[in-house]
Amino acid sequence: MLKIGQLKRLAHHGSLQIEATNNILEESFKAKNKDIMAHSPKAFKGAISALVTPFKNNKIDEAGFQKQIEFQIQRGIHGVIPVGTTGESPTISLKEHWRLFELAVEAAAGRVPVIAGCGSNDTVNAIAHMKTAKSLGCDGALVVAPYYNKPNQAGLIAHYEAIANSSDLPIMIYNIPGRTGVDILPATIAHLSKHKNIVALKDSAGDPSRTSLHLAQCEAGLMGLLA
């Protein structure tokens, strides 16, 4: 039977091993993501909030929207996403969509990254969102899988590559098959991760085992974050 002193020494040794392993993983992550960090002035990290879009008298409540952003920044949020699907992106006008980008950039004032909701089931429309988001000063884009159309995996690749080629804005892919009707499979994510402008993944497929699969398959690419 081990004595208390021996157990303490073993526990201390184990803690040192864990710390050393964590340091190695952190350095590996930094090395792997050097190109991404250089490409994007503000990396996607920490807690990033998908904003709701408040309305008043059938119009966007602009003051309420910006107040929401300020509230979250004051409480430590690391980034905000205006006009994702949570923010009514499928139901608002183009003018309203882009106005929300503008309001978010203004409210964030450079304190946290603004990741614009640029997803659409129309590739041309998504590209227009990307270009507008870039021109208004957004730091990145969240691009949900094209909903309702149900493209195959080759179609998804063509859709995302066309969007990624349209702007140098860093892209976070959003996979939520329960809502869109199409699942972006791990092999497709691995393929897309090699594009320099596709840097992150928000995965809401509901299968935690995919996390390790994405990490393994995207190792050769530049996917910097799983969310």
160 noted as active-site residue: no
Tokens encoding 67: 């107040």
Q: Distance between CA atoms of 190 and 213, rounded to whole angstroms?
A: 10
Strand partners, 79: 48
In whole angstroms, give the CA distance from residue 222 to residue 195.
Answer: 7
Select which of 8, 30, 95, 202 is catalytic: 202
Give the DSSP letter of residue 87. G
In b/e form, how buried is each residue of 63-96, taking b as 16+ CB within 10 angstroms? eebeebbeebbeeebbbbbbbbbebbbeebeeeb
Task: Render the burial of 160-177: b for 16+ CB within 10 Å, e for the rest.
Answer: bbebbebbebbbbbbbbb
Displacement of CA 160 from its chain's centroid (Å): 14
Catalytic residue among 34, 95, 148, 174: 174
Identity at 18, one-letter amino acid code:
I
Distance in Å from the first CA to the final CA of the chain: 44
Give the three-state DSSP class for 109: coil
Per the annotation, the verdict on 59 as an active-site residue is: no
Residues annotated as catalytic are 174, 202
